[in-house]
Structure 1
Amino acid sequence: MALVQHHVQSLPGITLHTIPTKKYKTTSITLQVKRPIIEEEVTKRALLPYVLQSGTKRYPSAQLLREALDQLYGATLHVDLSKKGEYQIISFRMEVANEKFLSDRTPLLEEAFALLSEVVLHPAQEKDAFLADVVSKEKRSLRQQIQSIYDDKMRYANKRLIELMFENEPYRFNVYGDEQALDEITPASLYAYYQNVLAEDEFDLYVVGDLEEEVLQTLTKKHFSLARREQHVQSEVSSRNVEKVKEIFEEQEVQQGKLHIGYRTHTTYKDDDYLALQVFNGIFGGFSHSKLFINVREKASLAYYAASRFESHKGIIFVMSGIETGNYAQTVKIIGEQLSAIVTGDFSDQELAQTKAMIRNQILETIDDATGLVEVLYHEVISRHKRTIEEWLDGIEAVTKKQIVEVAKKVQLDTIYFLKGKEENKVEAASV
């Protein structure tokens, strides 16, 4: 029996994903709304979900909406933003008790569908504009969120690396938008953009719980019937060769330097060697037994932390390390040596086996949670490539040393960004 049952049905204007399971006593409903990253729209898109969750036509304030959720046995509603490859995704997540476990048999599922539909399709508005006080309030909150990135130096360094590494690509834009662009948004302009979202975006509705597919189809058609639309052309992921490595230094009042490095892998989720890349990243810097952690932090004592992560749909590996400024050149050198070691096959069978076991546990732990499960399944929508959980787990186990070496050879150093303290001595460029 499959670890996860995943049934997909195309309905008018929306795709329904049913994941039946008896594991939970709640029902998780997630609506994913996808559109390619567009410079003129990034900030509007970042603001939109927060305005939508602030009130509906029937419940025109955040307080009334919270009271409506409380009436559904304490149902919860959250919105979120994410950037996956060249797409900016809006997520609406609702969790409600399964009515099978209630004594009074309240039709909670239908009421939850109706309420989520209210939030997404029937927002509070007047004269083709969102409510001015709501937009003003949410603009202030989003502004604070954008400004808070500057105070978190790890997030700030990652943001700067991305801006510099992808200076001519849509991926460079922060998912929360730009503070200056925020000033230009009006209740009317945001509502006009919202109408465009309803007309053009790709909607995927995921429902996880002990439910019948036919019931969900009926509820989706009733509450989320959208006009059929032409789907956006699949965003093409840029994967250009690196002609010259960028090395950028920035100074601020920081006590610990932030070294962030970007590599282009030329491999994404849909590619055959994606699983080999996943194992490569685990050996390189994904876990506490990885080469970066052992050699940069433990053996050389150069870093407070040293790790890597990869973006599955953009094909990028990011390395992050917190170091003293004087250790910059040596740290960059040792990080480069770890990549070279994997290219030459300098890793043990034990490292390989431990990494595979860690990845397997990571996948199983992720799909054990309804939110994580939806995130994993949504990879298929972003990539237009189907990979079952079983295929993923078996594929990881089947990855060979030779495949890891081959995928490592494709990895190219692109950009090195270092945020250092103002009082520190001049930093010498690394030999890259």
Structure 2
Amino acid sequence: MFQSIELQQGIHLHIRPTDQFKTVNFSFKFKHELTNQSASERSVLANVLVHSNELFPSNPAFRSHLDELYGTILYLDSSKKGSYHNITLLAETVNDQYLSTDGVLDQVLNLLQTVLFRPNLEQGAFKESIVNREKESVIQRIESLYDDKTRYAQQRLMELLRPNHPASIGANGTIENVTAITNESLFDAYKTMLEQDELDIYVVGDVDVEEMTSKLKAAFPFTARQVKPKDLHKDVEHPVITKNVVNEYQEMKQGKLHIGYETNVTFTHPDFPKMQITNGIFGGYPHAKLFLNVREKESMAYYVSSSFSSAYGLLFVLAGIDASKQDKAIGLIDAQLDAMKNGDISQNEIDQTVAMLKNQLKEALDSARGQIEIFDQYKDLDEKFTVDTWVAKWATVTKEDVQEMAKSINKQLVYFLSGKEEMTHEGASL
């Protein structure tokens, strides 16, 4: 799918030459250890770098230049993946061969180089006015979590399940850590990103591999950096949860029921494909047991689904319910997992889940960015990724496999967020 080249230790270039798109897509993924401080600094840093630079010291000028490059799209994004924080610089531009003039691709490469190596500085540090503005923007992003009750409830579940762990660290950090950022500390984080972060560079488009490799080497002279040895799989160490039910209250109407489960299966575990099928049958899709039985048959929830966090060996159920139905809803959700543990799994459920997973994968690969994200995830496995390979893995999953996976899923914590006016309920128990 991609041709991979090691440019330096810790720096890899992945190119996919294809005429599938009329554009060329670039993605620079900088990976750093995830902490509250690093997430906070790097979220602000991404905003600052994309705001302006040495050549275009104002945001309007920068955006205007992108428009002149036939509507080139360029932005930075900050995110978390497992125990790492990622800053991603992305650009999408039209391929020169579809234009009457040449040189647009080279201009975009120069602009990417400018964004990374020639930021908008003042006396050797980022401009204070820009830093303050972007700090406030990130703080507002963090505060917005409180207004989205589903996201807030999930974050609270994570904090209770995995305190002081990457799983509960937000991709934007904390308000306290963002507030503490100075021009100097942000510039130090910037230098760390350029000099120490593991880096994967992706290119997707109708390009010559040797020519593009030569151009990227010349434009981005990154130096080698230390790389942690790859640990393909190790068993997850799940902490003991002493309090299994937590109820909290806010001014709201619909209750948010979030349940956390543990399993030893992670993304690099040999049973990962089996767990994907298991989650799909449990609550991942409209044909799943949770949707059909909890929402449709019993009308117990406004919505209900499950998701598998393969980075941490955790599985979640999210449901919107009336506060008075808390115990009944939990009992009905428990019953669906128990049914799977007892072997209540049909071949039709397996086949439907395989079809859904296959369609999702193919849809993701319909875009250049989707191809980059899929490869970036699966490249960590000790095998070459292809669609056919993974469809074959799913197709071999049996009823007994799903039953075995269901038995490995253990409920750890129930978190319920509901309105203050509905504080009287039937009581919560496991």
> By how many angstroms is 1:312 displaced?
2.4
Aligned counterpart in structure 1 of residue 75 of structure 2, from 70, 74, 78:
78
State the match for 2:273 in structure 1. Answer: 275
Matched residue SS, 2:261: strand
Aligned counterpart in structure 2 of residue 380 of structure 1, from 362, 378, 381:
378
Matched residue SS, 1:269: coil
State the match for 1:47 in structure 2. Answer: 44
State the match for 1:95 in structure 2. Answer: 92
Matched residue SS, 1:251: strand
On the 8 A contact 1:247/1:415 being kept in 2, the answer is yes
> By how many angstroms is 1:128 displaced?
2.6
Runs of 4+ in 1 over 6 A off after TM superposition: none
> By how many angstroms is 1:276 displaced?
0.4
On the 8 A contact 1:35/1:232 being kept in 2, the answer is no
State the match for 2:179 in structure 1. Answer: 183
2: CA distance between counterparts of 1:92 and 1:246?
41
Matched residue SS, 1:160: helix
> By how many angstroms is 1:380 displaced?
3.1
Change (3 A) 1:137 1:130: same
2: CA distance between counterparts of 1:404 and 1:242?
25
On the 8 A contact 2:324/2:426 being kept in 1, the answer is no
On the 8 A contact 1:270/1:385 being kept in 2, the answer is no
State the match for 1:59 in structure 2. Answer: 56
> By how many angstroms is 1:316 displaced?
1.7
| CA offset digits 1:58-113 (Å, max 9, x no partner) | 22221221122122111011222222111111111111001111122x22222212
TM-score normalised by length of structure 2: 0.95
Change (3 A) 1:262 1:43: same
Matched residue SS, 1:228: coil
| CA offset digits 1:117-174 (Å, max 9, x no partner) | 2112221112231111111111111111111111111111111111111113222111
Matched residue SS, 1:40: helix
State the match for 1:154 in structure 2. Answer: 150
Matched residue SS, 2:171: coil
Q: After the TM superposition, which of the residue ranges 409-418 and 240-249 deviates more from structure 2?
A: 240-249
State the match for 2:402 in structure 1. Answer: 404
> By how many angstroms is 1:385 displaced?
6.1
> By how many angstroms is 1:219 displaced?
1.6
Uncovered stretches (5+) of structure 2, i.e. residues with no partner: none
Amino acid at match of 1:122: R
On the 8 A contact 1:6/1:19 being kept in 2, the answer is yes
Matched residue SS, 1:303: coil
Q: How does 1:167-316 map to 2 (within 5 A)?
A: 167-232=163-228, 238-240=236-238, 242=240, 244=242, 246-316=244-314
State whether structure 2 residue 134 is matched by structure 1 residue 138: yes
> By how many angstroms is 1:381 displaced?
4.8
Aligned counterpart in structure 2 of residue 28 of structure 1, from 6, 25, 33:
25
Uncovered stretches (5+) of structure 1, i.e. residues with no partner: none
> By how many angstroms is 1:21 displaced?
1.6
On the 8 A contact 1:157/1:258 being kept in 2, the answer is yes
1: CA distance between counterparts of 2:83 and 2:186?
22
2: CA distance between counterparts of 1:300 and 1:402?
28
Q: After the TM superposition, which of the residue ranges 159-168 and 271-280 deviates more from structure 2?
A: 159-168
Change (3 A) 1:67 1:146: same
> By how many angstroms is 1:386 displaced?
4.8
Change (3 A) 1:47 1:232: farther
Matched residue SS, 2:393: helix
State the match for 2:331 in structure 1. Answer: 333
> By how many angstroms is 1:33 displaced?
1.1
Q: Percent identity?
A: 38
On the 8 A contact 1:242/1:412 being kept in 2, the answer is no
State whether structure 2 residue 394 is matched by structure 1 residue 392: no
On the 8 A contact 1:85/1:311 being kept in 2, the answer is no
Matched residue SS, 2:36: coil
Change (3 A) 1:419 1:243: closer
2: CA distance between counterparts of 1:252 and 1:50?
32
Amino acid at match of 1:17: H
Change (3 A) 1:99 1:28: same
State the match for 1:364 in structure 2. Answer: 362
Change (3 A) 1:413 1:337: same
Aligned counterpart in structure 1 of residue 344 of structure 2, from 346, 349, 359:
346
| CA offset digits 1:329-386 (Å, max 9, x no partner) | 1111111111111112102111111111111111111111112211111113556665
Change (3 A) 1:172 1:269: same
State whether structure 2 residue 103 is matched by structure 1 residue 107: yes
| CA offset digits 1:32-76 (Å, max 9, x no partner) | 111121233221112111111011122222122112212211101
> By how many angstroms is 1:273 displaced?
0.5
Matched residue SS, 1:360: helix
Amino acid at match of 1:119: V
> By how many angstroms is 1:193 displaced?
1.2
State whether structure 2 residue 117 is matched by structure 1 residue 121: yes
On the 8 A contact 2:161/2:241 being kept in 1, the answer is no
Change (3 A) 1:382 1:183: farther
1: CA distance between counterparts of 2:251 and 2:133?
31
Change (3 A) 1:253 1:287: same
Q: RMSD between aligned alpha carbons? A: 1.8
